[in-house]
Amino acid sequence: MTRDDGFEDLRTLFTADLLEKLKALEAAVRDADWDEVSAIAHKIRGTAKSFGYPEVSSVAADLERSSEEKSLEYSASLVKRISDLIVL
């Protein structure tokens, strides 16, 4: 296994985990659980850039900030944007 293979394996695991986090984010936004939205967005923001998703990290930062505004519509649109940015 080369170093690149190892990174791709980790990236695949990250992407799978990200999909699970997106499901949790959708539920947290739907339930207006803003602490959970902020916590999940923070985790995504912290790791996405390292795995080649700098725009996902940026949108997650926006989502983390938006959780303070408690806007269901805007937060849902940011979750959708993250979903759209993931390349499987």
User: Residue 47 falls within a domain, yes or no?
Assistant: yes
By residue range, what is the domain housing residue 38? 3-83
Which among 35, 40, 34 is positioned nearest to 56, based on CA atoms?
A: 40
Overall domain count for the chain: 1
Percent residues over pLDDT 90 in the chain: 74
Does residue 58 form part of some domain?
Answer: yes
Confidence check: pLDDT of 1 > 60: no
Q: Is residue 44 part of a domain?
A: yes
Contact by Cβ (8 Å): 40, 82: no
Residue 50: inside a domain, yes or no? Answer: yes
Q: For residue 88, is it within any domain?
A: no
pLDDT in tens, 28-65: 999 999 999 999 999 999 999 988 899 999 999 999 99
CA angle 12, 18, 23 (to 5 degrees): 135
| Residue 13 in domain | yes
Structure tokens at 66: 């938006």
